[in-house]
């Protein structure tokens, strides 16, 4: 058997995982959920959900992936032959298809906005450039098609490495650009209200549905419950400290989300945009911000910004398509080309439905983050907490008893009890609301 490729350095591991984690979830989804779920109170719950539920599931995926040395299905089969858990491998195909279908529509909007930025459309006073889902359905479908073809081409040509090299430039660039937008946004008249909205939690706003939304977003943003992190972890060398990878990814992902919130909300309040309007929020707000900058600065920042958002979206979308393709190739013996084209076509067709109907879009968006991803996450956590032997888990998380000795017990407790119970609680909440 061919030895699996391995990441060459600690930074490379965190980079690849962060590349999958940081994407539209941080820049597009986080701000709109903050706006729909009460601002600072949502952020507060979100951080707790990351610490108590997402990080443990992340660790669980790492343990399965590295110990099992292959993708979801194969790793589980190897670690627990014959166990029913291996059917969790199915989330590896179903969830990416559903997720990618609406993700690609939003990716398409980014392509659209990049083109508009290049045509200097955001240098004049531009409000209401975002035409919404329905009024620009054909444009939306066209752009979604472009984004999906781009994703499939990267997978087919196997140029994922090339893209990942590209992210080493665009990721820091994105970080700097968001920072520029944050600083600029703070100077807008009326921005103070937006800042207050983000830092002064009104705890009465914390309802079961806010908790559910925050948890779902934590899974979405850290790419959990799909098998992406699990698959990446199978390429991680034994010497790597998984706890560090988990922390590194969680912290950088959180940082990008918070920064995006601080880039968008002050301008939302300055421009009098409705914070709870939903998925169109950043696409309504960003043009306003760019149009307030001096024309050449606005043009440059907007072009570079949408370009780097696009690359961030692409590193996430390729990681999504790749898990599904790898499953079909490894487990079903389908050729790589057929698997890629087949899955991409399916994703594309569902994405067309999302472009045509805001209802379908919202339904699939919530189906993923409220149900499918937490479901996958809970299976992974329970597999590690209840199916694998504690000695094996300890061996992985402490690197054979040499590191993280004290924190291991806390992590194990979170994986075994808190993550499953917490997520099941979320399911009950989702059923009742």
55 contacts ligand PFF (rule: CB under 6 A)? no
The residue among 23 and 298 lying less far from ligand PFF, judged by its C-beta, is 23
Q: Smallest gap, in angstroms, from Cβ of residue 125 to ligand PFF?
A: 30
Helices (H), 293-357: 295-332, 336-356
List the one residue from 13, 17, 24, 382 that touches ligand PFF (CB under 6 A): 24
Q: Of 16, 21, 114, 393, which lies in the binding site for ligand PFF, with binding defined by CB under 6 A? A: 21
As a dihedral over the C-alpha atoms of residue 27, residue 32, residue 34, residue 39, rounded to 10 degrees, the angle is 120
43 near 34, Cβ under 8 Å?
Answer: yes
Nearer to ligand PFF (CB atom), residue 14 or residue 226: 226
Nearest of 260, 262, 288, 251 to residue 273 by alpha carbon: 288
Compare residues 96 and 275 and give the one whose CB is closer to ligand PFF: 96
Separation of alpha carbons 312 and 318, rounded Å: 10
Token pair of 315, please? Answer: 């590193």
Residue 223 contacts ligand PFF per CB under 6 A: yes
319 binds ligand PFF (CB under 6 A): yes
Span 96-115, contacts to ligand PFF by CB under 6 A = 99
Q: Which of residues 191-220 bind ligand PFF (CB under 6 A)?
A: 220
Task: For residue 152, give every residue at least 6 positions away whose Cβ sits within 8 Å of its Cβ, in sequence order, or none.
Answer: 321, 340, 341, 344
241 forms part of the interface with ligand PFF (CB under 6 A): no
**Secondary structure (H, E, C), 115-169:** HHHHCCCCCCCCCCCCCHHHHCHHHHHHHHHHHHHHHHHHHHHCCHHHHHHHHHH
Kindly state the number of chain residues that form the binding site for ligand PFF, as judged by CB under 6 A: 15
Site string for ligand PFF, 299-318 (x = CB under 6 A): -----------------x--
Closer residue to ligand PFF, CB minimum distance, 266 or 376 = 376
* Minimum CB distance to ligand PFF smaller for 229 or for 299: 229
Q: What is the spatial distance between Cα 183 and Cα 179, in angstroms, rounded to a whole number?
A: 6
Kind plus residue range of the DSSP H or E element containing 91: helix 91-118
H-helix or E-strand containing 179?
Answer: helix 160-186
Which listed range, 72-80, 153-161, 222-230, 416-424, lies at the site for ligand PFF (CB under 6 A)?
222-230
Supply the minimum distance, in Å, between the C-beta of residue 64 and ligand PFF.
15
What DSSP state is assigned to residue 226? S
Question: 22: which DSSP letter?
Answer: S
Closest-by-Cβ residue to ligand PFF is 25
Among 75, 226, 250, 258, binds ligand PFF (CB under 6 A): 226
Residue 4 near residue 235 (C-beta atoms within 8 A): yes
Per rule CB under 6 A, is residue 347 in the interface with ligand PFF?
Answer: no
Site string for ligand PFF, 408-427 (x = CB under 6 A): --------------------
Write the burial class of residue 355 (CB in 10 Å: 0-12 exposed, 13-18 middle, 19+ buried). Answer: buried
Contact status: 377 vs ligand PFF (CB under 6 A): no
Residue 388 contacts by C-beta under 8 Å, 6 or more apart in sequence? 63, 64, 67, 79, 80
Looking at beta carbons only, is 61 or 396 nearer to ligand PFF?
A: 61
CB of 161 to ligand PFF, least distance (A): 18
Q: Which is nearer to ligand PFF, 151 or 221 (CB)?
A: 221
**225 or 298, CB closer to ligand PFF?**
225
Q: CA dist 40 to 34, 265, 370, 432, 433, Å?
A: 7, 11, 21, 25, 22
Question: Least distance in Å: CB of 102 to ligand PFF?
Answer: 11
Please, which residue, 221 or 404, has the CB nearer to ligand PFF?
Answer: 221
Q: Which of 268, 320, 360, 423 binds ligand PFF (CB under 6 A)?
A: 320
Point out which residues bind ligand PFF (CB under 6 A).
20-21, 23-26, 99, 220-221, 223, 226, 228, 316, 319-320
């Amino acid at each position: 058997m061919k030895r699996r490729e391995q990441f060459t350095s600690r930074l490379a591991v965190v980079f690849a995982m962060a590349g999958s984690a940081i994407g539209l979830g941080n820049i597009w989804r986080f701000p709109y959920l903050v706006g729909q779920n009460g601002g600072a109170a949502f952020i507060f719950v979100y951080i707790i959900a990351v610490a108590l539920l997402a990080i443990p599931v992340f660790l669980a995926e790492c343990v399965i992936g590295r110990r099992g040395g292959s993708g979801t299905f194969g790793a589980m089969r190897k670690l627990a032959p014959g166990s029913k858990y291996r059917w969790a491998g199915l989330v590896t195909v179903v969830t990416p298809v559903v997720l990618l279908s609406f993700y690609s529509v939003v990716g398409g909007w980014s392509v659209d906005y990049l083109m508009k930025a290049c045509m200097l459309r955001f240098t004049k006073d531009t409000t209401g450039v975002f035409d919404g889902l329905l009024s620009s359905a054909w444009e939306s479908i066209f752009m979604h098609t472009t984004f999906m073809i781009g994703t499939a081409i990267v997978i087919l040509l196997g140029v994922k490495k090339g893209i990942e090299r590209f992210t080493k430039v665009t990721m820091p660039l994105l970080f700097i650009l968001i920072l520029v937008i944050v600083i600029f946004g703070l100077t807008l008249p009326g921005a103070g209200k937006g800042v207050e909205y983000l830092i002064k939690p009104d705890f009465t706003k914390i309802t079961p549905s806010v908790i559910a939304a925050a948890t779902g977003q934590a899974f979405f943003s850290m790419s959990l419950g799909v098998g992406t992190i699990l698959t990446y972890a199978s390429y991680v060398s034994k010497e790597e400290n998984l706890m560090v990878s988990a922390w590194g990814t969680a912290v950088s992902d959180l940082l990008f989300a918070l920064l995006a919130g601080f880039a968008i909300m002050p301008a939302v309040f300055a421009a009098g945009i409705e914070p709870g309007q939903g998925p169109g929020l950043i696409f309504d707000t960003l043009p306003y911000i760019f149009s307030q900058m001096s024309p050449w600065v606005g043009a440059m920042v907007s072009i570079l910004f949408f370009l780097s958002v696009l690359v961030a979206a692409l590193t996430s979308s390729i990681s999504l398509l790749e898990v599904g393709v790898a499953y079909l190739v490894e487990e079903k013996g389908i050729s790589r080309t057929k698997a890629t084209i087949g899955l991409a076509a399916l994703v594309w067709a569902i994405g067309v439905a999302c472009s045509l109907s805001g209802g379908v879009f919202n339904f699939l968006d919530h189906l993923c983050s409220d149900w499918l991803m937490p479901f996958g996450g809970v299976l992974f956590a329970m597999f590690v907490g209840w199916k694998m032997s504690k000695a094996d888990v300890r061996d992985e998380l402490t690197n054979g008893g040499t590191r993280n000795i004290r924190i291991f017990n806390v992590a194990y407790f979170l994986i075994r009890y808190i993550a499953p119970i917490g997520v099941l609680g979320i399911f009950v909440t989702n059923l009742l609301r």
